[in-house]
Amino acid sequence: MKNVLIGGIGNVLLADDGIGPYVARLLAARYTFPDGVEIIDLGTPALDLIDQLSGRDAVILIDSVDAGAEPGTVLTYQKVDIMRHHPAVRMDPHSPALVDALLSAELFGVAPDDVLLVGVNPGSLEPGCNLSKPVQASLDLVASSVLVELDRLGVEYHPQENPAAVEIWWTSDSKVNYEASVTSAGR
Amino acid sequence: MAQRITIDPITRIEGHLRIDVEVENNAVSNAWASCTMWRGIEKILRGRDPRDAWLFTQRFCGVCTTVHAMASVRSVEDALQLEVPLNAQYIRNLILIAHALHDHIVHFYQLSALDWVDVLQIPKADPAATSKLAESLSPWTRNSRNEFKAAQDRVNAVASSGQLGIFMNGYWGHPAMRLSPDVNLLAFSHYVQALEYQRKALQVVGILGSKTPHIQNLTVGGVANAIDLDSANALNMDRLEMVRVLLEEVVQFVNQVYIVDVCAIAAMYPDWFKIGSGVRNYLAVPDLPLDSKASAYDLPGGYIMNGNIAGVHSFKTASDKDFRSAVSEDVAHAYYQGGKPLHPWVGETEPEFTGWNGDQKYSWVKAPRFNGAPMQVGPLAQVLVGYAQGHPLTRKYTDLAIAKIEAVAGIRVTPDMLHSTLGRHAARAIRAGMLAELAQKHLQLLSDNIAKGDYAVYNQPVFPGHEVEGVGTHEAPRGTLSHWVVIKDAKIKNYQAVVPSTWNASPRDGAGAHGPYEASLLHTPLARPEEPLEVLRTVHSFDPCMACACHTFDPSGRQIAKVKVL
């Protein structure tokens, strides 16, 4: 049985940076996963991300990634790609630290074998609770990217018969629910 | 001609600190310590219920978590002259001790060690020889050749990948690095082990405090822990046994690894017992109260002026008038409005941000003064005060550490050598040894008291109609902490926190006297000014925690710090 983390990273108060938490909750509402798979809205972890990575067989993370591409472009990064980057200069212990966390976990012998980062190029990172239109349009592809990775890992999942609504705690605006955009009903 | 070097931000500390030094003839000729971030909690507390204050003040900092909660409840209890039941004192003491043990371990290994340990020398080390050396210094059972080989393999993987990761930008190969490859390997291996043991110490905090960072179990008048030997959900024998086992493992690590490593590494850098002194006035407050009135303590307090250790003045209790009346804060060089220095009970917090100006205002930290003098606080202050008073536990661990250093260094270590950068590191390890022993003592005190049938944990606070003022003190991991509260009509009228790093990171005062960080840097020799490793060694030895030192927030915009990656 594989120990897998599906983690959504991001600040839900900064527009497209909320993609990670949103997709994590979307997948949790849409599918059932076997024992050993955890889906977590990770919010904005710093080095405490090491605790979440530690001891897993595989980790799939969803986050906004500014790679200079068109808003909504989905790019995926393997573990070796992520670790090739130098850690960003962090002004304080609370700054995001994905590269640091992974490098530290590797150094201390607790890193997962497989890491996939599904990165969505943001349209807007301004204060706000909405995903921009291009990023909304990418939701299908983001969800499929996660599911394809689960296929590759040999992890079975099933679409829920009557999926519940996506749990969104960060706003009461019911327009912030893009489930209609997501048509991938799984394999 | 003097060269100016700015290090901003200082890394491997808590918070936001900028250090400027002027260098002439390869030595520091002048220095400025600047706190570059600012929040607002003292002002937020005005008008609030004093029973809630500790929840806010604990959020000063998640690294020195617990300490500001403790000082806050004590300040209100002091204002009300409210006793705290024995169980509550012991539970609080255990939390404070366990947190301090975690803090001191992390400070030496994760925050300081890489100032002295050159990781990139590790591929040259011989794991078998390292093991032989390590086992000659300590009975620790995790010093095997295999253990060191595994640690070396990890470093080899990092070094050969070209991606140094968390080790990038270190001053590897700096001429001031002098440990042999084997000792570098020994230290690094223990650095990784230290992560496990500091976590165990924190688990103790979590069991008693309900979580950490930021315990939830305090209340003005005691603690909120339910004690019931017959309940699975309360503090019972099972939980106390868990605490006992965890503490035992931490105690072993402190005695067999942490103290040993500090002494061995210090012995290999003996010139650093002559660098980094600065302010030789020391201040410490008594702590770990042994009764409900806090009239007796297990950690001594007092003050020493001008390095006159024998002339130590003792504080009988934490409410000693000699302490309470002597504290003032000067804002001449800090980003606040104000004229003459003010006692904390009448302290003000009106910001006046001017931007960094070394001749005028340059820090968000006020300049605390004791009878007008700058004071160094921290484990060194507590150890010197305790040693001078003949406090048995202080003497025991100080003599032990000095003997260990002498054995490795082959030189005599005299008390005045403790006025130094290495003196601070050694004192922290000494203090950890003392606390490790006290942890087991206070756990026994708690267990014995509960076994007598005493389950009391709380005395209800009653607020009078007239104005009252109180001060809550705590000898925190970084030194003397004090919270000063004025209460009127059961609401907070004024609240000022004077925290350890305020004392140590203090800018100049109106008379131009340097604060401890600044003074300690003067005359430090720099082998390569553009790689100011020596400055970091001294600054780190203080264990800076800047979030605590300045806790007021400017909503109109943060200064963008200049980044020099270290």
Per DSSP, which regions of B477-530 are E strands?
479-488, 491-498
For B139-166, b where at least 16 C-beta lie within 10 A, e where not — what string? Answer: ebebbbbebbbebbebbeebbeeebbbb
What residues are paired with B258 via a beta bridge? none
Per-residue pLDDT reduced to its tens digit, B82-105: 999 999 999 999 999 999 999 999
Q: Which residue of chain B has the CA closest to A84?
A: B163
In a domain, B563, yes or no: no
Asked if residue B256 lies in contact with residue B429, where contact means CB atoms within 8 angstroms, the answer is: no
The alpha carbon of residue B346 is apart from the nearest alpha carbon of chain A, in Å, by: 32
Using alpha carbons, select from A72, A52, A73, A69 the residue that is nearest to residue A6. A52
Any idea what DSSP says for residue B458? B
* Among A84, A93, A108, beta carbon nearest to B163: A84
CA quadruple B533, B30, B366, B78: dihedral, nearest 10: 70
Cβ distance of B9 and A91 shorter than 8 Å: yes
Listed in sequence order, the DSSP H helices in B231-306 are: 237-253, 259-267
Residues of chain A neighbouring B14 (CB-CB closer than 8 A): 93
The alpha carbon of residue B252 is apart from the nearest alpha carbon of chain A, in Å, by: 22
In a domain, B560, yes or no: no
> Count of CB atoms within 10 A of residue B365's CB?
32
**CATH homologous superfamily, domain A4-181:** HybD-like (3.40.50.1450)
Amino acid B63: pLDDT: 84
Dihedrals φ, ψ of A142, to 5°? -60, -50
Using alpha carbons, select from B345, B342, B324, B326 the residue that is nearest to residue B334. B342
Using alpha carbons, select from B19, B4, B8, B15 the residue that is nearest to residue B538. B19
Long-range contacts of A156-159 (CB under 8 A, 24+ apart): A156/A34, A157/A31, A157/A32, A157/A33, A157/A34, A157/A37, A157/A186, A158/A31, A158/A32, A158/A186, A159/A30, A159/A31, A159/A185, A159/A186
**Exposed, middle or buried by CB within 10 Å (0-12, 13-18, 19+), for A184?**
middle
Amino acid B353: pLDDT: 87
Cβ distance of B158 and A99 shorter than 8 Å: no
Q: Which of A47, A49, A51, A86 to mutate to test the interface with B (most CBs of B within 10 A)?
A: A86
Active site residues of B: 14, 61, 64, 68, 478, 501, 545, 548
The alpha carbon of residue A87 is apart from the nearest alpha carbon of chain B, in Å, by: 6
In a domain, B562, yes or no: no
* Among A91, A93, A107, beta carbon nearest to B158: A107
My answer on whether omega of the bond before A122 falls inside 30° of 0, hence cis, is no
Q: Domain span at residue B168?
A: 3-553
Average pLDDT score over chain A: 89
Residues of chain B neighbouring A100 (CB-CB closer than 8 A): 165-166
Q: DSSP for B158-218, please give it.
A: HHHHT--GGGTT--TT-TT----HHHHHHHHHHHHHHHHHHHHHHHHHHHHHSSSSS---E
Cβ distance of B166 and A106 shorter than 8 Å: no
Q: At what angle do helices B421-451 and B379-389 cross, to 10 degrees?
A: 70
* Among A89, A92, A104, beta carbon nearest to B166: A104
CA distance A169 to B109: 40
Q: Which residues of A touch B (CB under 8 A)?
A: 83-84, 86-87, 89, 91-93, 99-100, 103-104, 106-109
Q: What angle do CA A143, A147, A152 make, to 5 degrees?
A: 150
The model's pTM is 0.89
Asked if residue B87 lies in contact with residue B457, where contact means CB atoms within 8 angstroms, the answer is: yes
Q: Which residue of chain A has the CA closest to B158?
A: A107
The alpha carbon of residue B136 is apart from the nearest alpha carbon of chain A, in Å, by: 26
Amino acid B566: pLDDT: 34
In a domain, B72, yes or no: yes
Residues of chain A neighbouring B563 (CB-CB closer than 8 A): 89, 91
* Among B9, B63, B154, beta carbon nearest to A107: B154
How many alpha carbons fall within 13 Å on the CB side of residue A21?
24
Residues of chain A neighbouring B9 (CB-CB closer than 8 A): 91-92
In a domain, B351, yes or no: yes
Cβ distance of B9 and A103 shorter than 8 Å: no
In a domain, B22, yes or no: yes
Q: Is B38 left (phi over 0), alpha (psi -120 to 50) or beta?
A: beta
Q: Is A58 left (phi over 0), alpha (psi -120 to 50) or beta?
A: beta
CA distance A9 to A64: 8
In a domain, B199, yes or no: yes
CA distance B508 to A69: 50
B299: which residues sit within 8 A by CB, 6+ positions away? B286, B287, B288, B382, B386, B434, B438, B475
Q: Which residues of B touch A (CB under 8 A)?
A: 9, 14-16, 37, 63, 154, 158, 163, 165-166, 168, 192, 195, 561, 563, 565
CA distance B360 to B206: 44
The alpha carbon of residue A37 is apart from the nearest alpha carbon of chain B, in Å, by: 26
Q: What angle do CA A73, A41, A103 make, to 5 degrees?
A: 75
CA quadruple A83, B213, B426, B169: dihedral, nearest 10: 20
Q: Which CATH number goes with the domain that contains B465?
A: 1.10.645.10
Number of domains in chain B: 1
Cβ distance of B165 and A91 shorter than 8 Å: no
Using alpha carbons, select from A97, A100, A116 the residue that is nearest to residue A108. A100
Q: Which residue of chain B has the CA closest to A97?
A: B166
Amino acid B558: pLDDT: 32
* Contacts A–B by Cβ distance under 8 A: 37
Cβ distance of B16 and A99 shorter than 8 Å: no
Distance spanning both ends of chain A, measured CA to CA:
20
Per-residue pLDDT reduced to its tens digit, A13-64: 999 999 999 999 999 999 999 999 999 999 999 888 999 999 999 999 999 9
Cβ distance of A83 and B166 shorter than 8 Å: no
Asked if residue B552 lies in contact with residue B351, where contact means CB atoms within 8 angstroms, the answer is: yes
Residues of chain A neighbouring B163 (CB-CB closer than 8 A): 83-84, 86, 103
CA distance B506 to B488: 31
Q: Which residue of chain B has the CA closest to A103?
A: B165
Cβ distance of A87 and B163 shorter than 8 Å: no
- Asked if the model's pLDDT at residue A184 lies above 80, the reply is no
Alpha carbon separation from B443 to B71, B331, B365, B440 (Å, rounded): 21, 43, 37, 5
Residues of chain B neighbouring A51 (CB-CB closer than 8 A): none
What residues are paired with A115 via a beta bridge? A59
What does DSSP say about strands B287-289 and B297-299: parallel, antiparallel, or unpaired? antiparallel
Per-residue pLDDT reduced to its tens digit, A89-126: 665 666 678 888 988 888 888 999 999 999 999 999 99
Q: Which residue of chain A has the CA closest to B159?
A: A107
Cβ distance of A109 and B16 shorter than 8 Å: no
- Asked if the model's pLDDT at residue A88 lies above 70, the reply is no
Q: Which of A90, A99, A107, A108 to mutate to test the interface with B (most CBs of B within 10 A)?
A: A107
Q: What is the mean pLDDT of each run of 10 residues along chain B (566 residues)?
A: 82 82 90 81 92 95 90 98 98 98 97 95 97 97 97 89 79 95 97 96 97 96 95 93 98 98 96 96 98 96 96 93 93 88 86 88 91 97 97 97 94 91 98 98 97 96 96 96 96 94 93 95 92 94 75 29 35
Amino acid B432: pLDDT: 98
